[in-house]
Each structure stands twice: as structure tokens, then as C-alpha cells.
Amino acid sequence: MRVLVDTNVLIRLFQRSNPSSPIAASAIQELKKHEFEIVIGKSAHDARLVAAMVKHSVPNILTFNVQDFRRYSQVKAFNPVDILAGLLPPVT
């Protein structure tokens, strides 16, 4: 199963002083542990990300901005905190 990692997660991953940095790192490790394929994104508009996700059959995105993706029924957004709480994307 594939998961796109939003740039806001990546930014926090590398901002060691950001309180969300350990959450981002742990969530990515948790997905890897469950053998999710991580598709790392670059800065882009949400609609463009979703279009690329649909084209490449990537149904999930890891993001701190879950609310930004609620309007897109084609994808499911997960917050890193959700992943750490055991709310993993469905494996199909």
C-alpha cells in the first residue's frame, strides 16, 4: 500500500526544534514497519497532489493538514498522530 507524505510532515521531520518533529519521524517509521510504501511529496497545490495520487493509485496521504484533503473523496488523509495511535490506512 502506498502513502504520500505531505511536505508539512517532511518540514517538521527536519525541524528538530519543532514539537511535531518526533511525531512526524515516529509516524513515518510506523508506516515503514507495516510495509507501507512511502511516496515523498514536494511543495504543490493540494489538488495537484490529489490528481497525481489518483493517477498513480496512491489512496492515502500523511499530512498535518488533514482538513485540507477532506474535500477529495478519492484520497484519505491521515495525521501522524493518527498513525501513532494505531489508525493505519487500510491495506487493500
Q: State the pLDDT at residue 40.
A: 58
Contacts of 66 (CB under 8 A, 6+ apart): 77, 78, 79, 82
For the stretch 18-59, pLDDT in tens is: 999 999 999 999 999 998 888 754 445 788 899 999 999 999
In a domain, 92, yes or no: no
Q: State the pLDDT at residue 42.
A: 44
User: What is the extent of the structural domain holding 76?
Assistant: 2-84
Count of domains forming the chain: 1
What is the share, in percent, of the chain residues with pLDDT greater than 70? 93
Instruction: Using the structure block, give the residue that is written with the C-alpha cell 510504501.
Output: 37
In a domain, 90, yes or no: no
Least confident of 36-40, 58-62, 87-91: 36-40
In a domain, 89, yes or no: no
* Mean pLDDT taken over the chain: 88
